[in-house]
């Protein structure tokens, strides 16, 4: 049956609000297959490559400050940036520009640069390593000068004369240099204003204004603030809407991820950016949530209680010595707290990982394990304590806790050292050691003696706990897979603890004769690729430049199963690590497994990566879906909803508000016990303050870090309460139409879109004189299978009970009502249908309320240049300055991406 609305209950025109369901705006394909639009020579790329827009001859453009415009190659890991860069160098070499600069992150990547040049038939171009050339020597007349970013800040005092690598490079280039400068893995030069290295990168570009600059990185810039070194893109500066980089940064960060999508799209439209990526076809992702056994929970809970005790002891000792406001003290405490529980989180997954890995090996695959921490620092401490001998595996977690108490427990020595001034030199530090508590007669200082007793008591308890704590994860993994002869270790550590054939344990160096650690990692990679070893463990040290894919050219062509035991701290590192096993010319695509334990606090690490991957996908490929964050997005709490949810649960626990979301039902002792949590907030937020300012003392990062230090059942319950509030706030915003969905598709189903008008506007400014196009499109809705469906505007977002329907509507003959309203609503609004007239139409305005034809205005083109002006105009006309990024495909199959006020 169909119901017709009762005329007496219709709302006032001003109050009518059409509820639309943002979720129903679906997602069309983000990518299109990529082929060069101009060049037809050569053979196709060995793998399917996808890309989203265009490029142009950027190096022919001169910016207003008389610098040649640069180009950003943001190709994903494994596409072949190295060969692309080699091709650019070769083209310029053939045009007479015989010198080129190539900067990268490691000197060993020089061999990869030589390989890339040889692969494209340019073996005649010599590559000279700057680190092998003496300061002041500019003997090489042509070729590629290969250097690391750290080399840019190199200095020498040889012969009493200050020489710098930067001046040496500038002398080699000579005035008027117009050759190529390659900033490979350019994300390593980020934070240009805060580091000498970053400033040197900017300085080099300023002193060689005619150089042809290429930025190359799989990550481009994971956050807008890291784009500061890309000064040659011409996005900010003279002749642009942003006078300085800070203006650009403020505008982009204010708008969030949507703004980053506009930046990426605008750069592509302007021809300064390309972001091809290997298709993820064939790649599988899955998250393995690992349950904890009772023994591990017992150890974890003991550790949590001991840390709570240590916090109380630190607070009391700091108060007695008037050190409670020391930021350095609490910085050390919480840093150690975080690392300790991170080691425990990782250790919880080792048994499950080994079981999964062995099953994959039996299935004829090979395994790559990714982690960040090696725990070498603790191993070397124990080694030094035992005069270079080790007969047991070491617990990294125990070492972190012990080191904190030994070095940073509040003491008279620390207080006096601090009094000497923050900028004291190391020598004065040593002189002050004589003021140590041990040089004071403790009999006359009972309070100091009591502090020393407390310190010793904590150390004893840590030693007792250490007997139950898990061992170093990396050493344990290698041991469980059969030892170093079965595992290719590609990390930055110099040695490891291994089990010998007779069962004894000893420390051995990883070094091989006349090889550096980097060279050892390359040899281990070769052993893995040749099939001598079927398990590889990589850390951040091996995350740049090493290829581990099932390459057609190597012996080991088994499918790679990439297990992430420890999610990297940033998406920069995540993209580099994930890209080791998904690269060009592979026989099979890899399988990714993310291991996350059931510990609520461990989602902290997944949250960071999910957040960074989301923004990275947006900036790298012009669509936040591009990085395929998939299941990990549910762990992204570092946004405004996470902050609001934390604020609400904090105030609810303090009794300041009554929460609309109930606490977990299964908490021991019920709601009253759950809300008895001021002592919990002391750990999660500020130290011992009772008057907690939630905005200042509690932020989502701090909360997700410190929740690790609660007992398992407490952290899981608190985290559940937090996520319930988080989900409630998102759902509330969705219902109110305030939720940011990213790029939305206008009428993604069977709806027909017709282009009505098109207006073009020219925009002045360098490097490109772009244009902005305003489209007016009309959408005709099609029938959908809905619970409540109106013939004029289709499906309703909110379902209604039978009682409400009977109050608002009366039953009529379905065919007559349907035909009448369907015909009437083709171009006439609901007001005319209900009242026989519409005030807006009578006043000469347009009214589309309830019509079947929906009209949208959509701006496309070089939007970044006019974005602020358009936002200001929209804000003057409407109640909001928010412009939604949308995508559509018209009936004649033309595709558009742009901004709309819908």
pLDDT score, position 420: 47
Identify which of 466, 468, 503, 464 has the alpha carbon closest to the alpha carbon of residue 483.
503
The full set of domains in the chain, from first to last, is 3-25+742-900 (no CATH), 44-278 (3.40.50.10810), 349-395+469-598 (3.40.50.300), 640-735 (no CATH)
Q: What is the mean pLDDT of the chain?
A: 75
Identify which of 841, 109, 191, 902 has the alpha carbon closest to the alpha carbon of residue 547.
109
pLDDT score, position 41: 62
Mean pLDDT for 131-155 is: 83
Q: Tell me the DSSP string of 555-590.
A: S--SPEEEEESS--SSHHHHHHHHTTSS-TTBSS--
Identify which of 196, 102, 225 has the alpha carbon closest to the alpha carbon of residue 619.
225
Residue keyed to tokens 């905005």: 695
pLDDT score of 143 more than 70: yes
Q: Distance between CA 200 and CA 220 in Å, rounded?
A: 19
* Cα angle 620-127-120, degrees, rounded to a multiple of 5: 65
Residue keyed to tokens 């809705």: 781
pLDDT score of 299 more than 90: yes
Residue 783: count of CB within 10 angstroms of its CB: 10
3 DSSP β-pair partners: 811
Q: Distance between CA 443 and CA 455 in Å, rounded?
A: 17
236, 245 in Cβ contact below 8 A?
yes
- For residue 15, give the 3-state DSSP assignment: helix
Taken in order 192, 194, 199, 200, is the CA torsion positive or negative?
negative
pLDDT score, position 174: 87
Q: Residue 725 corresponds to which tokens in the numbers above?
A: 């509030």
Residue keyed to tokens 């079947």: 852
pLDDT band for 306, please (50, 70, 90 cuts): very high
C-alpha distances (whole Å) from 823 to each of 22, 251, 795, 827, 895 are 27, 46, 17, 9, 30
pLDDT score, position 225: 75
pLDDT score of 689 more than 70: no
Measured between its terminal Cα atoms, the distance across the chain in Å is 32
- Report percent pLDDT > 70 for the chain: 71
Q: Distance between CA 136 and CA 158 in Å, rounded?
A: 10
Residue keyed to tokens 């490029």: 55
pLDDT score, position 195: 73
Mean pLDDT for 302-327 is: 84
pLDDT band for 620, please (50, 70, 90 cuts): very low
Stronger pLDDT, 826 or 671, i.e. the higher one? 826
Helix (H), strand (E) counts: the chain: 29, 30
| Pairing between β-strand 32-33 and β-strand 180-184 as defined by DSSP bridges | unpaired
pLDDT band for 601, please (50, 70, 90 cuts): low
pLDDT score, position 842: 87
Mean pLDDT for 492-515 is: 77
* Cα angle 458-464-468, degrees, rounded to a multiple of 5: 130
Q: Tell me the DSSP string of 635-686.
A: G---SHHHHHHHHHHHHHHTTSS--SSPPPTT-TTHHHHHT--HHHHHHHSS
Residue keyed to tokens 């298709």: 279
Cβ neighbors of 329 (< 8 A, separation 6 or more) are 314, 318, 323, 408, 410, 414
Helical H runs in 69-148? Answer: 81-94, 110-119
pLDDT score of 444 more than 50: no
pLDDT tens-digit map of 72-82:
988 877 788 88
| Pairing between β-strand 535-538 and β-strand 366-370 as defined by DSSP bridges | parallel
pLDDT band for 714, please (50, 70, 90 cuts): confident
pLDDT score, position 606: 62
- For residue 68, give the 3-state DSSP assignment: strand
Mean pLDDT for 110-133 is: 90
pLDDT score, position 785: 37
pLDDT score of 569 more than 70: no
DSSP single-letter state for residue 76: P
- Phi and psi at 703, nearest 5°, equal -60, -50
300, 101 in Cβ contact below 8 A?
no
pLDDT score of 324 more than 70: no
pLDDT tens-digit map of 228-249:
888 898 888 887 888 888 888 8
Stronger pLDDT, 576 or 22, i.e. the higher one? 576
pLDDT score, position 734: 77
- For residue 600, give the 3-state DSSP assignment: helix
Q: Distance between CA 63 and CA 769 in Å, rounded?
A: 12
Q: Distance between CA 7 and CA 475 in Å, rounded?
A: 77
Q: Distance between CA 875 and CA 838 in Å, rounded?
A: 26
Residue keyed to tokens 């150390």: 459
Q: Distance between CA 196 and CA 187 in Å, rounded?
A: 15
Mean pLDDT for 94-107 is: 91
pLDDT tens-digit map of 835-875:
778 888 888 888 878 887 777 888 887 787 787 788 788 87
Residue 310: count of CB within 10 angstroms of its CB: 22
pLDDT tens-digit map of 15-66:
333 323 223 223 334 445 556 655 566 666 665 555 543 444 677 788 878 8
pLDDT score, position 698: 65
pLDDT band for 358, please (50, 70, 90 cuts): very high
DSSP single-letter state for residue 488: E
Is the overall model pTM greater than 0.75, yes or no?
A: no
Identify which of 471, 466, 467, 479 has the alpha carbon closest to the alpha carbon of residue 393.
471
- For residue 71, give the 3-state DSSP assignment: strand
pLDDT tens-digit map of 149-207:
888 888 876 655 658 888 889 989 988 999 999 998 877 665 555 578 878 888 999 99
Mean pLDDT for 528-551 is: 84
pLDDT tens-digit map of 786-827:
377 776 666 666 667 777 777 777 777 777 777 877 877 787
DSSP single-letter state for residue 23: G
Mean pLDDT for 251-266 is: 74
pLDDT band for 629, please (50, 70, 90 cuts): very low
Kindly calculate the radius of gyration of the chain based on its CA atoms and give it in whole angstroms: 32
């Amino acid at each position: 049956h169909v119901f017709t609305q009762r005329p007496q209950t219709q709302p006032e025109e001003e109050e009518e609000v059409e509820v639309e369901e943002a979720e129903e705006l679906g997602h069309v394909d983000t990518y299109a297959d990529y082929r060069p639009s101009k060049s037809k020579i050569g053979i196709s790329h060995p793998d399917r490559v996808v890309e989203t827009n265009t490029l142009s001859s950027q190096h022919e453009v001169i910016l207003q400050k008389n610098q040649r415009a640069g180009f950003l190659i943001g190709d994903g890991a494994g596409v072949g940036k190295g060969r692309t860069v080699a091709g650019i160098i070769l083209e310029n070499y053939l045009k007479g520009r015989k010198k080129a600069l190539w900067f990268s992150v490691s000197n060993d990547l020089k061999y990869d640069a030589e390989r890339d040049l040889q692969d494209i038939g340019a073996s005649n171009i010599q590559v000279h390593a700057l680190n092998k050339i003496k300061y002041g020597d500019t003997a090489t007349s042509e070729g590629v000068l290969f250097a690391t970013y750290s080399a840019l800040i190199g200095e020498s005092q040889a012969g009493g004369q200050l020489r710098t690598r930067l001046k040496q490079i500038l002398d080699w280039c000579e005035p008027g240099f117009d050759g190529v400068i390659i900033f490979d893995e350019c994300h390593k030069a980020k934070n240009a204003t805060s580091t000498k290295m970053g400033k040197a990168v900017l300085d080099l570009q300023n002193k060689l204004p005619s150089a042809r600059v290429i930025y190359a990185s799989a990550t481009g810039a994971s956050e807008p603030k890291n784009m500061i070194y890309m000064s040659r893109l011409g996005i900010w500066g003279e002749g642009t809407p942003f006078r300085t980089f800070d203006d650009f940064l403020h505008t982009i960060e204010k708008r969030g991820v949507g703004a980053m999508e506009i930046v990426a799209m605008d750069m592509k439209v302007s021809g300064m950016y390309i972001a091809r990526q290997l298709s993820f076809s064939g790649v599988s992702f899955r998250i393995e949530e690992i349950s904890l056994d009772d023994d591990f929970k017992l150890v974890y809970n003991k550790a949590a209680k001991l840390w709570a005790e240590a916090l109380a002891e630190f607070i009391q000792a700091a108060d007695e010595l008037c050190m409670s406001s020391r930021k350095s003290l609490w910085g050390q405490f919480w840093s150690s707290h975080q690392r300790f529980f991170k080691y425990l989180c990782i250790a919880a997954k080792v048994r499950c990982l080994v079981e999964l890995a062995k099953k994959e090996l039996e299935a004829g695959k090979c395994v790559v394990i990714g982690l960040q921490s090696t725990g070498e620092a603790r191993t070397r401490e124990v080694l030094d304590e035992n005069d270079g001998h080790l007969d047991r595996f070491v617990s990294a977690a125990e070492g972190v806790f012990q080191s904190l108490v030994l070095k940073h427990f509040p003491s008279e020595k620390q207080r006096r050292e601090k009094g000497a001034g923050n900028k004291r030199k190391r020598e004065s530090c040593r002189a002050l050691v004589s003021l140590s508590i041990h040089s004071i007669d403790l009999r006359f200082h009972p309070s100091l003696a009591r502090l020393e007793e407390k310190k010793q008591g904590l150390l004893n308890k840590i030693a007792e706990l250490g007997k139950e704590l898990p061992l170093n994860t990396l050493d344990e993994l290698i041991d469980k897979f059969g030892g170093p002869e079965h595992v290719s270790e590609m990390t930055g550590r110099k040695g490891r603890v291994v089990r010998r054939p007779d069962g004894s344990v000893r420390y051995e160096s990883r070094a091989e004769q006349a090889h550096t650690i980097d060279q050892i990692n390359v040899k281990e990679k070769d052993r893995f690729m040749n099939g001598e070893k079927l398990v590889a463990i990589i850390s951040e040290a091996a995350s740049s430049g090493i290829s581990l894919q099932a390459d057609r050219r190597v012996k080991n062509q088994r499918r790679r199963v990439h297990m992430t035991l420890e999610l990297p701290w940033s998406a920069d590192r995540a993209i580099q690590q994930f890209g080791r096993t998904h690269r060009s010319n592979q026989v099979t695509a890899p399988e990714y497994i993310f291991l996350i334990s059931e510990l609520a606090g461990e989602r902290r690490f997944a949250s960071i990566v999910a957040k960074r991957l989301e923004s990275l996908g947006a900036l790298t490929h012009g669509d936040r879906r591009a990085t395929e964050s998939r299941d990990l997005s549910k762990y992204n709490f570092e946004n405004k909803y996470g902050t609001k949810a934390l604020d609400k649960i904090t105030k609810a626990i303090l009794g300041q508000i009554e929460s609309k979301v109930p606490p977990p039902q299964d908490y021991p002792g019920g709601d009253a016990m759950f809300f008895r949590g001021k002592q919990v907030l002391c750990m999660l937020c500020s130290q011992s303050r009772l008057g907690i300012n939630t905005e200042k003392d509690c932020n989502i990062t701090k909360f997700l870090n410190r929740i690790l230090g609660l007992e398992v059942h407490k952290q899981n319950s608190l985290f559940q309460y937090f996520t319930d509030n988080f989900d409630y706030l998102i759902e509330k915003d969705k219902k109110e139409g305030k939720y940011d969905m990213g790029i939305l598709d206008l009428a993604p189903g069977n709806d027909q879109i017709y282009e009505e008008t098109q207006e073009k506007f020219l925009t002045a400014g360098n490097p490109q004189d772009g244009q902005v196009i305003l489209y007016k499109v009309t959408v005709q809705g099609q029938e959908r299978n809905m619970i409540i469906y109106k013939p004029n505007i289709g499906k309703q977002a909110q379902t209604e009970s039978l009682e409400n329907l009977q109050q608002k509507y009366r039953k009529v003959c379905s065919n007559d009502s349907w035909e009448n309203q369907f015909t009437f609503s083709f171009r006439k609004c609901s007001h005319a249908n209900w009242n026989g007239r519409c005030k807006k139409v009578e006043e000469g305005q347009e009214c589309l309320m309830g019509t079947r034809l929906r009209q949208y205005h959509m701006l496309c083109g070089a939007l970044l240049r006019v974005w602020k002006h358009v936002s200001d105009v929209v804000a003057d006309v409407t109640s909001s300055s928010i412009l939604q990024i949308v995508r559509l495909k018209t009936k004649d199959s033309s595709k558009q991406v742009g901004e709309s006020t819908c």
